C-alpha cells in the first residue's frame, strides 16, 4: 500500500464477513509487471489479481500470497489457477483457458475457489455473469484510468446505476486512489487499483 495511505482505505481494508476481499490489487504487464512489493504492503485478507505475469513469476506470487494471507486470483487461465490453489478472474473482452476444469473444481468445493469477472458497463458481461454466477464483478472504469487512456469513465452516478442492476458483489475499478475514495458509490462492495496500491519504488516509468 502506498506509504501513509493505509488509513485512507478505511472500510475497504478488511474483508467482508464471508471472506471476500474488499480491497484488490491488480498486476499489469506494463505498469506493475511484478506485484510482490505492492503485495507486501497489503493488509491481511486483501486480494490480488495476477494479470499478465511473465512465465515463472506466478508461483512466487502465489507463495507470497499464501504467506501474507492474501486471496489470489489468476487472470485468464483456469488450469494455472487450480495449480496455484487460487481463484480465477475472467475478462469480458478475451477468452480464458481452462475454464471448464476450474468450474468443475469450483462446483465440487463450494466456497473454496473464488470466481470473478470483469464488466465494462456492457450487456455482454452481465449476460455471461448470469450463466457463470461469479462471486464478484469488477465493474469499470469508475474514474478515468491509465489502463485505458482517453476512454470515457462511467462516473459515480452511472456506475451506481449499473451496479444496482447486478445481483453480485460489485467491485469498483478504474482510477481508484486514496483521494477518490470518498467519491466511490456506497453500494460498492470493494475497490481495486493498480497505481493507488503500488509503492512508488515498485512503479515503472509511464
pTM of the model as a whole: 0.91
E strands of 93-150, at which residues? 115-119, 136-139
pLDDT of residue 3: 47
- Average pLDDT across the chain, whole number: 89
The answer to whether the bond into 156 is cis (omega within 30° of 0) is no
For residues 187 and 147, what is the distance between their CA atoms, to the nearest angstrom? 24
Share of the chain above pLDDT 90, in %: 70
| Whole-number pLDDT of residue 13 | 87
164 φ, ψ (degrees, to nearest 5): -65, -20
Q: How far is CA 167 from the centre of its chain?
A: 18
25 Cα distance to chain centroid: 6
In which band, very low, low, confident or very high, does the pLDDT at 6 lie, cut at 50, 70 and 90? low
Each residue's pLDDT tens digit, 124-154: 667 788 889 999 999 999 999 877 676 789 9
4 pLDDT band (50/70/90 cuts)?
Answer: very low
Whether residue 178 contacts residue 196, with contact meaning beta carbons closer than 8 Å, is answered with: yes
Amino acid at each position: 500500500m502506498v506509504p501513509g495511505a493505509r488509513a485512507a482505505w478505511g472500510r475497504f481494508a478488511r474483508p467482508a464477513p464471508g471472506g471476500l476481499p474488499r480491497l484488490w490489487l491488480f498486476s499489469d504487464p506494463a505498469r506493475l509487471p511484478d506485484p510482490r512489493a505492492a503485495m507486501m504492503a497489503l493488509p491481511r485478507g486483501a486480494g490480488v489479481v495476477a494479470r499478465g505475469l511473465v512465465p515463472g513469476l506466478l508461483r512466487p506470487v502465489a507463495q507470497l500470497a499464501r504467506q501474507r494471507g492474501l486471496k489470489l486470483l489468476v487472470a485468464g487461465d483456469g488450469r494455472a489457477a487450480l495449480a496455484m490453489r487460487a481463484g480465477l478472474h475472467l475478462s469480458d473482452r478475451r477468452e480464458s483457458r481452462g475454464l471448464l476444469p476450474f468450474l468443475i473444481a469450483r462446483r465440487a468445493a463450494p466456497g473454496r475457489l473464488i470466481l470473478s469477472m470483469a464488466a465494462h458497463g456492457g450487456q455482454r458481461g452481465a449476460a455471461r455473469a448470469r450463466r457463470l454466477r461469479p462471486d464478484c464483478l469488477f465493474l469499470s472504469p469508475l474514474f478515468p484510468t491509465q489502463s485505458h487512456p482517453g476512454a470515457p469513465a462511467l462516473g459515480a452516478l452511472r456506475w451506481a446505476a449499473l451496479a444496482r442492476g447486478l445481483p453480485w458483489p460489485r467491485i469498483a475499478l478504474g482510477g481508484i486512489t486514496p483521494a477518490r475514495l470518498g467519491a466511490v458509490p456506497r453500494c460498492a462492495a470493494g475497490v481495486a487499483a493498480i497505481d493507488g496500491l503500488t509503492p512508488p519504488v515498485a512503479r515503472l516509468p509511464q
